[in-house]
Chains A and B, each alone.
Chain A
Amino acid sequence: MSTAETRARRSPESVAASESAEPAQTVETTETAGTAKTEMAAGAGEITGPERRSSAEPAPGPLTRSPMAFWRLLGSELGLTFRRPRNQVMLAVVASVPIVVGVALRIVAGDGDGVGGFIGAVAGNSLMLTFASFSFLVVLLLPIAVSVVAGDSIAGEAGTGTLRYLLAAPAGRTRLLAVKYLNAVVFSFAVTAVVALSGLITGLVLFPAGPVALLSGGTISMGEGLLRILIAAGYVGAGMAALAAIGLALSTLTEVSIGAIAATMVLVIVAQVLRAIPELDGLAPYLLPTWFTRFDAVLRSPISFADLGQGLLVFGAYIGLFCSIAWARFSGKDITS
């Protein structure tokens, strides 16, 4: 009888509340046995009925997390990054460097016969321009491009005030940070890929194709050369992703994106200066930029995977450390912008 009544009272909007109220009531009924049951049948109808209805008023509808929510936010983030004119200009500038270098080398190599060394190596094979471009660009230009995107990630949102709206949406702090970092990682690999593609195409247009002569002597086939470009690009991309972690951490410290961007660049430049001082050799292995240039391990025969592996470990350590700093800072921060 009482069960039937309960069921009858359970109008659709009161389901949420009665479900939470139900277990407690059942326990009470079984504990106090028969006497309580008759009391309930008599009194509960009037008392719990209206009470339940009023407490069920909010009736929270089913709001479920979309399974694609994370990827949708990441997609939105990537769209912002790659459609933003500033970032497109950076990609274009980075892409133009291999072209400029290639054209310049072509002119130099065309002037005098038998140019040797570096110029000769690049002018002698279409794939070498890509490696040469990497060695120019990892020093400063690629780190700058990555610093801009990573340093802007949180600080830029704070600066425009959109951060408070994203978090109130609610994006979730950890989720937003993860999306921001993944976005910077994608940009790191994208900017590296742009260098590789630009270098490759320019090289194929300007210089002769054929087997590639390696730094350590010996030659490899063109197919093998392309594979090694892929490995080098992956390694450089990972290095840039490590730098992006530093940029992200700095980005959580300020509401001025240019501050975080400049700070990241300054760290890169300071590290390059320290590397240039012979007395500080002992410091070099701890500096991130030291490891950027180690992609040249792919130009040895056979590939020095030990060098690459060590570099990747360093990148991993930097990523772990600075993502932790970013998370520790961002997850508990008061958003005052």
Chain B
Amino acid sequence: MTVVTHEAGAPFRAAPPSADPANGSAIVTCGLTKRFRGGQVAVDALDLAVPRGSVFGFLGPNGSGKTTTIRMLLGLAAPTAGEHSLLGLPLMDALPRVGALVEGPAFYPYLSGEANLLRMDAADPTARGGTARKRAGEALERVGLAAAAGKRFRNYSLGMRQRLAIAAALLGPRELLILDEPTNGLDPQGTREVRALVKEIAAGGTTVFVSSHLLAEVEQMCTHAAIMRTGKLVAQGTIASLNGGKATRIRIETPDVAAAARVLTALGLADVQGGVQGGVQGGVQGGVQGRAEVTAELGGHAPERVNAALVEEGVAVRGLAVVRPSLEDVFVGLTGEGFDVDG
């Protein structure tokens, strides 16, 4: 288990940003701290290491310091203490390679979508004006806004605004995308589109750092995650390690426990539990009125195939469920609190 619990003082310690400029991390922070003038600590000694090529979920309830961290990463706010580095480069060299969406879209209401992108592109000292129109067109195409390119931003719907902000983040070839709550305000369809886009971008080798207060979203999109709570890092690692190494399991409710266990073992499922014979470990989880279940790690097997195999062998399947370990369990386990979605 490689979950890093910051508070427990686990051995993990991010390398200082200056020590290893070409390490494998897209984002490194070391003791990053932000204390506001009122004395409130928004981010408290954050040690973050985002591996290159990962889709990294930055998870925490609203107000847990995610946006403040992102603002510091992008140089918009100065840390009170600690260091940070993007792509192992000095900030001003790194930023042209970083696309960012911070705290929702912000554009000039009286300009068209395309004109807004050209304006943002003009602010990037490494971008070439000659290719700006072409790149803006491609970015708009990519987020499905090509048809609305000439429409004023004022007349964009919430979903279109969000997509335009993502288009702005995709104006150049990016090595890192920092997306702060990219699905905020989107309808389910828009949310799915954003998730698909993130996957597509990540498939191209770009590291994606996505903050969210939605556990399910991070579980679906990300390979890695860090969990924040009131400015402190609670845990970080791969999704699998955060889940405590718990694999997705299949649970079969059946009176024929032994037969079911045999079929599952024959199919090659690991860690079959619930059988009583054949040396399979674990006891029958007998329920009331003769209900009994067999569980096993699903691995790469399709649940419907498992079901078909069971039925073929004459096992009476009364119920079948796929049990996924959830980050919520992890969060509750680590903090002793529920994950307040509304913050």
Contact = CB atoms under 8 A, between A and B. Distances in A.
B95 A58 contact: no
A306 interface: no
A167 interface: yes
A168 B76 contact: yes
Contacts of A70: 125
Contact of A160 (B71, B103, B107, B124): B107
Contact of B125 (A65, A164, A332): A65
Interface stretch (A73-81, A258-266, A270-278, A290-298): A73-81
Contacts of A170: 75, 91-92, 95-96, 123-125
Interface stretch (B126-134, B217-225, B317-325, B334-342): B126-134
Nearest to B153: A160
B122 A72 contact: yes
A334 B106 contact: no
A54 interface: yes
B110 interface: yes
A1 interface: no
A162 B97 contact: no
A165 interface: yes
A165 B168 contact: yes
B108 A80 contact: yes
Contact of B106 (A16, A58, A85, A164): A164
Given A167-B75, A168-B95, A332-B78, A58 B123 contact: no
Interface string B107-121: 111110000001111
A10 interface: no
Given A54-B24, A85-B110, A162-B107, A73 B76 contact: no
B22 A76 contact: no
A336 to B, nearest CB: 7
B233 to A, nearest CB: 21
Interface in A104-134: none
Which residue of A20, A66, A75 has the most chain B CB atoms within 10 A of its CB atom? Answer: A66
A67 to B, nearest CB: 10
A162 B71 CA distance: 14
B126 A168 contact: no
B88 interface: yes
Interface stretch (A29-37, A171-179, A204-212, A281-289): A171-179
B170 interface: no
B106 A60 contact: no
A217 B71 CA distance: 65
A161 interface: yes
Contact of A65 (B21, B77, B110, B126): B126
Interface in A42-62: 54-58, 60-61
A171 B92 CA distance: 9
A169 B127 CA distance: 10
A58 B24 CA distance: 7
Nearest to B127: A66
Contacts of A85: 110
Interface residues of B, number: 46
B93 interface: yes
B129 A68 contact: yes
B66 to A, nearest CB: 15
A168 B102 CA distance: 9
Interface residues of A, number: 42
A161 B122 contact: no
Given A76-B122, A160-B107, A165-B102, A57 B71 contact: no
Contact of A167 (B76, B89, B97, B109): B76
Contacts of A175: 125
B303 interface: no
B198 interface: no
A169 B95 CA distance: 6
A8 interface: no
Interface in B201-225: none
A176 to B, nearest CB: 7
B126 A161 contact: no
Contacts of A17: 22
B87 interface: yes
B100 interface: yes
Nearest to A86: B110
Contact of B128 (A20, A66, A160, A171): A66
Given A58-B22, A334-B77, A72 B106 contact: no
Given A64-B126, A66-B128, A166-B123, A84 B110 contact: yes
Contacts of A168: 74-76, 95, 98, 100, 102
A25 to B, nearest CB: 15
Contacts of A227: none
B163 to A, nearest CB: 15
Interface of A: 16-17, 20, 54-58, 60-61, 63-66, 68-70, 72-73, 75-76, 80, 84-85, 160-162, 164-172, 175-176, 332, 334-336
15 contacts: A16-B22, A55-B22, A57-B52, A63-B93, A66-B129, A76-B119, A76-B122, A80-B111, A160-B108, A162-B106, A168-B102, A169-B124, A170-B92, A170-B95, A334-B71
Interface of B: 21-24, 52, 71, 74-78, 87-89, 91-93, 95-98, 100, 102-104, 106-111, 118-129, 168, 173, 175
